[in-house]
Amino acid sequence: MTRQAVERLSRQYDEPAWLADARLRAWQIFEMSPMPSRQDEEWRRTNPGGLRLDELVPFAEPSGQIESPLRLDGNVGGLITQMNSVTTDRSLQDHIAEDGVIFTDLQTAACEHPDLVQRYFMTEAVNPEIGKFAALNAAYWSGGTFLYVPRGVEVVLPLRSLYGLTEGGIATFGNTLLVLEDGARATYIEEYVSPEVDRQSLNAGVGEAYVGQGAHLTFITLQDWAGKVWDVSTQRALLGRDSRIDWLVINVGTGTTKTNIETGLQGQGAFAQMLGIIWGARNQHSDYHTVQDHIAPHTTSDLLYKSALTDEAKSVFSGRIRVVQGAMGTDAYQANRNVLLSEKAAAFPSPNLEIEANEVRCTHGATVGKIDQDQLFYLMSRGIPRDMATRIVVEGFFEDVLQREPVASIRDNLRDLIGRKLDES
């Protein structure tokens, strides 16, 4: 990875000058910022030393096969498929395009809709300054997803992206930019997937969502990486007045994940529902840092992250609630629940509250517990074998998340996926 490689990338794609410049600025930030270490508070429980960045190449041709982990099918408004950061397929139904909706890969969007993309892309929600990996993404990203929904337009069918990583020894840079103008509505589902790879690979991703006044975004982001894949990503949504995001994060496969999921409630009356489902087996390590950032008064956030872990899997959750001065009338809820199915599985929750405003309602709670042997005995006493009983208890554990509204459209798919993962373990 070099400055020349960044320049080559811009030339190869014949990019507009602003974008080429932005890449070089990002590269500079990347070079100047130190590699995180375990001494950094953020990386206390995830050792960045395990990532061999210098052994990764930033490109690979599409290869192999990928499949939607949720087994989602054709009933969608649009679908973008990328492999190793190269767009291999994209579609958008005509009637949606006719409403002025743009749904295409980010590179194409940067050329065809430069004003729009330039206005939002890695400026406010996530910018290269926030950290080394965001900077690396900003320098090297390709492919990506751009969704733009004009004012008042409702996209009924879900829009999907499938990001595949199929080679060992590579880095991909998934990049998602979602813009909903005032009063717009859309559901966006992205899946990150890889088959088994022979060596370490990395996805350093960025996700940004702008939800305009009164708009409503349902955002489902799913990871099903192989055991040798690292994921270091930041996704941040900014919410306008009276807007709403329902945001579900699913992780059913990874080597090491270190991801930030952040909402900035910038407009009065904004509402964020943040849900997480994490299934960890073998030595999967997932480290989620969530932020519920209450900037405007009378905003509400409701977070529920649940993880079930077996073998030697680890789950780290650090959830931050920030209520700035003046954001009175804020309601902020945070719950992190972990169930351990083996002796060596472990979960490390830590809430972190910074409340500078008055008249705030805020609750938080975290639990870590072993799977209940009495529940298993009860099920087994009815003739249900131990592994099936375990599966039933774990599925039951996730059920309250599955019953939440944003999950309805993929509920059965998600149940099947969790069931398959449990069977594999």
Partner 1 sequence: MSEQQELKIENLHVRVEDQEILKGIDLTVEPGKVHAIMGPNGGGKSTLAYTLMGHPGYEVTEGRILLDGTDITEMAPDERAKAGLFLAFQYPHSIPGVTMANFLRTAVNATRPEPVSPRDFRKTMREQMALLKMKDEFAGRYVNEGFSGGEKKRAEILQMAMLQPKYAVLDETDSGLDIDALRIVADGVNALLGPEMGVLVITHYQRLLNYIKPDYVHVLVGGRIVANGGPELALELERSGYEKFEPPSAA
Tell whether residue 357 is a contact of partner 1 (CB under 8 A).
no
Residue closer to partner 1 by CB (options 74, 383) is 383
Closer Cβ to partner 1, 205 or 406, answer by number: 406
Task: Write down the least CB distance from residue 395 to partner 1, Å.
Answer: 7
Q: Are 215 and 66 in contact (CB under 8 A)?
A: no
Q: How many residues bind partner 1 (CB under 8 A)?
A: 24
Cβ within 8 Å of residue 399, ≥6 positions away = none
CB nearer partner 1, residue 161 or residue 390: 390
386 belongs to the binding site for partner 1 (CB under 8 A): yes
From candidates 67, 112, 356, 400, binder to partner 1 by CB under 8 A: 400
315 within 8 A of 280, measured Cβ to Cβ = yes
Determine the 3-state secondary structure of 76 from DSSP.
coil
Q: Is 343 in the site for partner 1 (CB under 8 A)?
A: no
Written as one string, the DSSP assignment of 177-231 is EEEE-TT-EEEEEEEEE----SS-EEE--EEEEEE-TT-EEEEEEEEE--TTEEE
Could you give the CA distance from residue 269 to residue 321 in angstroms, rounded to a whole number?
A: 17
373 binds partner 1 (CB under 8 A): yes
Among the residue ranges 30-38, 207-215, 393-401, 404-412, the one whose residues contact partner 1 (CB under 8 A): 393-401
Q: Which span (1-9, 187-195, 268-276, 397-405) binds partner 1, by CB under 8 A?
A: 397-405
CA 24 – CA 390 distance, rounded (Å): 51
| Strand ranges, E, within 356-394 | 361-370
Least separation, in Å, of the C-beta of 380 and partner 1? Answer: 4
Q: How far is the CB of 342 from partner 1 (least distance, A)?
A: 16
Cβ-based nearer residue to partner 1, 173 or 397: 397
Please pick, from the candidates 176, 360, 397, 422, the single residue that binds partner 1 as defined by CB under 8 A.
397
Burial 175-212 (b: 16+ CB within 10 A, else e): bbbbbbbbbbbbbbbbbbbbeebeebbbbbbbbbbbbb
| Site stretch for partner 1 (CB under 8 A), options 204-212, 260-268, 279-287, 376-384 | 376-384
Strands of the 244-253 sheet, one edge to the other: 86-92, 78-83, 159-164, 185-193, 216-224, 244-253, 271-280, 300-309, 331-340, 361-370
Shortest distance (Å) from residue 248 CB to partner 1: 17
Member of 398, 417, 418, 421 binding partner 1 (CB under 8 A):
398
Footprint of partner 1 on this chain (CB under 8 A)?
372-375, 377-386, 388-389, 392-393, 395-400
